[in-house]
Amino acid sequence: MSRYAAPLKDMRLALDVAAGIEDLTRIPQFSEATPDLVDAVLDEAGKLAAETMAPLNAVGDSQGAQWDNGVVRMPEGFKDAYDEYVNGGWNGLTFTTEHGGQGLPFALGLAVQETWASANMALSLCPLLNQGAVEALTHHGSEELKRLYLPKLISGEWAGTMNLTEPQAGSDVGALTTRAERAEDGTYRIKGQKIYITFGEHDLTGNIVHLVLARLSDAPEGTRGISCFLVPKFLPDENGQPGQRNDLRCAGLEHKLGIHASPTCTMQFGDNDACVGWLVGEENKGLRAMFTMMNHARICVGLQGVAIAERAYQQAVAFAQERVQSAEYGSRGPSVPIIQHALIRRKLMTMKATVEAMRALTYATGGAVDRAHAHPDADERAKAQGLADLLTPVVKAWCTDMGVELTSENIQIHGGMGFIEESGAPQHYRDARIAPIYEGTNGIQAMDLVGRKLAMDDGRHWKALFADIRDFAGAIAGDDTLGSIAEYLSDGVEALQHAAVWLAGNDLDEARATAAGASPFLTLFGTVAGGYYLALQAREAQRRLDAGTGDPVFLANKIATARFFAEQCLPPATALLGPITRGAELFYALEPDQFAA
């Protein structure tokens, strides 16, 4: 398997341009994120990822997490790697200083997290779930719960999880049956089963803090009757240390296609009617905490698509440089490394350009989240929140779809070797395949985009973004170097505008037509928005070249990559306008029993 090296130059440019990290430092909360600090953080994160986490990726895939009578043991080396991560203070990078965090921007945290996910996606899931639990407690927990749990969760000494899914419910959270009963001491007794719980049990930390969705006996039906509870594996004693074991257990692990080192648990709560939980937020208002967790997780899962595609791209380049086969097309010369063949060049350039567009889109979303949380001006906070809400389903779905597509291209570039496990290429593809499924399937993200986000605030946020894209395309239209991008970006945003207006104009009688166009619309949205944020970087690269600053080879490559994306990736996406607006008639041309005819 090829080595991993964090793409620090590209990450830094994406932070500068797409996330606007220099502007973020003008917000008092993020004033510590100076250029020198950002460079140091990225450099050290890249070293930890490459030297400690990446070598364990194949180990974790082959050994997997092991279950034995309720106990889960992680693969060889994982505990030491996690300890090194915690001891380095990495877990608290973006969390509030009030409870021991460092208070740095979420956008910078995404860049750092990308290195973990590229190096070892399975291991990176533990801190990812923990982050969601911290966010939920920070925004919805009582002061006592914050005091007891946040310092240890933020440090990484303890780990947090999300417990949502049940066998009969799946994505329909309102159908859950886990029960909660009030106890006289103000706590609750939790009883039920949850499935697909990532890192629900493991031996990396001294305690595991579960956030569990459950329903009180007198709660309304559906999602209006869901409450959220904090349920620790060990009940803290008077000193806040893990004490008595709570009445919960891991009943088994799923045997999965990929991420073998990430324990996907079936969790049993209250087998002995003694599982103690504490309410997070208000009774019957658990969806608020859930969406706080899930919106954070959805951006981070989208980042996994970026990360795993980056790892696959690096492997594909290394193989293509070494693999010698056939003369170039039209030549009678000797066999050459396959990176010389135009067919392979198309695949590699598509991988490179798409990864960089995905990264730019994801970091831009992270910057919007930072402004929404911390900008001193209320109008700017609202504007940023609207953009973050709009882009979150796009990041989650488009980036993870592309992650699967690009890890598949890595296998194709390897040829027959790509189908052999020893090459390492299959692991990236297998690991990537879960990301379009968990934290809300990509179909759900598409329906969220067209069903909620287009209508949000009368469409103000998508209209503003599309206007920015049109203005940018107009600004570069006459540029000798960047002008070719303008034509394709203009075509893309006009198709996107047409599709958005058509979808937003549908009423309930046209619900099937809206649903039929949702997924291709999200793909079009992701491609155009990703192309836009990538093109912004190309303009900055040109500015730095003209000023004689920065690495001229990297900057020239950025411009070429952005042009390739515009000319080769945008036109096929623009063609999706037809399928988006065609309606759903032919989707229902067959009766259900005719599909098997």
Superfamily of segment(s) 8-155: Acyl-CoA dehydrogenase/oxidase, N-terminal domain (1.10.540.10)
Residues recorded for the chain: 597
pLDDT tens string 210-265:
999 999 999 998 888 999 999 999 999 877 888 999 999 999 999 999 999 999 99
Q: Residue 186 — very low, low, confident or very high, per pLDDT cuts 50/70/90?
A: very high
CA distance 495 to 484: 18
Q: Which of 439, 510, 540, 591 is catalytic?
A: 439
Q: Is 203 exposed, middle or buried (0-12, 13-18, 19+ CB in 10 A)?
A: middle
- Per-residue exposure over 332-349, b if at least 16 CB sit within 10 Å of its own CB, e if not: eeeeeebbbbeebeebbb
Percentage with pLDDT > 90 across the chain: 91
Does residue 305 contact residue 311 with C-beta atoms inside 8 Å? Answer: no
pTM of the model: 0.96
Average pLDDT value for the chain = 95
DSSP per position, 166-220: -TTTTT-GGG---EEEE-TTS-EEEEEEEEEEETSS-SSSS-EEEEEEEEETTPP
Q: How far apart are CA 106 and CA 36, in angstroms?
A: 17
* For range 55-75, the mean pLDDT: 97
Asked if pLDDT for residue 173 goes beyond 80, the answer is no
Q: What is the pLDDT of residue 176?
A: 86
CATH 2.40.110.20 fits 159-287, yes or no: yes
Strand bridging mode 159-163 / 208-216: parallel
Sequence ranges of the chain with CATH classification 1.10.540.10? 8-155
Is the per-residue pLDDT at 171 higher than 70? no
Rounded to whole angstroms, how far apart are CA atoms 122 and 57? Answer: 8
Tokens representing 518?
């949702």
For residue 277, name the pLDDT band (cuts at 50, 70, 90): very high
Active site residue 322: no
- Mean pLDDT over 289-306 rounds to 91
pLDDT digit string, tens, across residues 519-556? 999 999 999 999 999 999 999 999 999 999 999 999 99
| Closest C-alpha to 242, from 276, 207, 208 | 207
pLDDT in tens, 117-164: 999 999 999 999 999 999 999 999 999 999 999 999 999 999 999 999
Give the model's confidence band at 1: pLDDT under 50 very low, under 70 low, under 90 confident, else very high. low
- Nearest-angstrom CA–CA distance, 563 and 559: 6
Numbered ranges of CATH 2.40.110.20 in the chain: 159-287
